[in-house]
Structure 1
């Protein structure tokens, strides 16, 4: 059993703060027993200009580096885009796709589907973000998520369940809601996607994992993990669950 812990810095940290944070987190991973022996799989998603540094700092560890976004185009005349083949060549192995904040800026299901496909074709594992925009019954929330999962049909994939109403909130979504929604989401996944890991994100931090596991396979952390000590606490909690 592997527990997945991911961290996105979004656009919160400066270049120098990002380098410091990456150095401290990768050094932590280098020494943490749960990460070293593979019971806890850690990935980090810094801002795009930091990806090369993240790959370098993570060398010799089990830490995977993820991009916070990827272009729907593999190459060509697309100014400002970052293609999946370029990311793979750089050493990035994952790409976040379909985050609610990007959907709010106009990203459609068709664009998300294209990004999933191009990422997989380049050998990246998409981290497909799904979640309902308003609080509702878990079955309804799961149906909403399954519609968004329609962007993927097969291939390597990790799903991040992030109810939009919990992102950036003071507290995460209630554990009972998360576990019921994720259980229903698993039940509804097409056979080709059965067994894909599902992590929870949305104001996730220390003390939450034990309330959600084993319904969820891990956590996708945001601002609470910008303090490396909180990263240590979550890794300790994850390792304890796999002992």
Structure 2
């Protein structure tokens, strides 16, 4: 069994706005995120923000001159063609996007996204020099009297999600894997720290066994908030925040916590 790759020196944190904000609110929020650029740099933390598609171009303008990574919430797996309603990775790159979220539990559940389609999107993004942010996670909370068995059940479910995406992306490309147990999304508390560390450690081992040369960072998402990173830092490189981060003061606090850890 190969040794685990060392965790990356540079942590990473970000948030997706989903469809919560209207256009003016989004632009006000993005302007506030831009003001956190110096803080993130001082904490050696990569910061990303993912608005809706309509807001991408004005968001790029607001973030120009910062190191904050602009994201998109989805993409098509082709660079062009007759795909009504879709947006290509090529167009996203041209608009200034750096990182693309894919495979979120909501899209898997509501729109039937599969491991195969997510893998195709990851490959298409990597081909454009974009970072695939691949969401993975078990649907149901593992029911087992043993914590180690619960971890094993979760790992068995996420393995296909992880491996299909990593196989599709060239070995030298950067990938971010967001472990989000579906049962923890929107819950009052994040998943148990030992469970998260157990699963994310195995996710990192999967990447190591594939001999990947590119950077693979693992995030945790699922009701993450203050104090979450400190409890799970042995397994992850950062956090993927939900509505908690819609308060910029909360986002600032998490950046500081991750930097201090």
On whether the aligned pair clears a TM of 0.5, the verdict is yes
Contact 1:36 1:61 in 2 (8 A): no
Supply the distance in 2 between the matched residues of 1:78 and 1:165 (Cα, whole angstroms).
Answer: 32
Whether 1:114 and 2:127 are equivalent positions in the alignment is: no
Equivalences for residues 162-201 of structure 1 within 5 A: 162-189=180-207, 190-193=209-212, 196-201=216-221
Moved more, 156-165 or 183-192: 183-192
Show the counterpart of 1:143: 156
**1:60-107 CA distance string (max 9 Å, x none):** 111001101011221011111000000001110110011111010211
Query: What runs of 5+ residues in structure 1 fail to find an aligned partner?
Result: none
Contact 1:209 1:219 in 2 (8 A): yes
Give the number of aligned pairs: 238
Supply the distance in 1 between the matched residues of 2:50 and 2:253 (Cα, whole angstroms).
Answer: 19
Show the counterpart of 2:146: none
TM normalised by structure 2 equals 0.87
Query: What runs of 5+ residues in structure 2 fail to find an aligned partner?
Result: 1-8, 143-149
RMSD value over aligned CA atoms? 1.4
Supply the distance in 2 between the matched residues of 1:47 and 1:142 (Cα, whole angstroms).
Answer: 31
Whether 1:219 and 2:239 are equivalent positions in the alignment is: yes
2:109 to 84, 104, 113: 104
Show the counterpart of 2:31: 23
Equivalences for residues 29-178 of structure 1 within 5 A: 29=37, 31-32=38-39, 35-37=40-42, 39-105=44-110, 106-136=112-142, 137-149=150-162, 150-153=164-167, 154=171, 155-178=173-196
TM normalised by structure 1 equals 0.94
Show the counterpart of 1:5: 13
Supply the distance in 2 between the matched residues of 1:59 and 1:225 (Cα, whole angstroms).
Answer: 21
SS where residue 199 of structure 1 aligns? strand
Supply the distance in 1 between the matched residues of 2:121 and 2:28 (Cα, whole angstroms).
Answer: 30
Q: CA deviation at 1:139?
A: 1.7
Contact 2:43 2:256 in 1 (8 A): no
SS where residue 189 of structure 2 aligns? coil
The ranges of structure 1 where at least 4 consecutive aligned residues each deviate by more than 3 angstroms after the TM superposition are: 192-195
Contact 1:128 1:159 in 2 (8 A): yes
**1:114-151 CA distance string (max 9 Å, x none):** 11111111111100110000112112212222210122
Contact 1:143 1:185 in 2 (8 A): no
Contact 1:131 1:162 in 2 (8 A): yes
Q: CA deviation at 1:38?
A: 6.6
Supply the distance in 1 between the matched residues of 2:32 and 2:235 (Cα, whole angstroms).
Answer: 30
Show the counterpart of 2:5: none
Note closer, same or farther for the CA distance 1:193–1:102 as it changes in structure 2 (3 Å cut).
farther
Supply the distance in 2 between the matched residues of 1:207 and 1:59 (Cα, whole angstroms).
Answer: 31
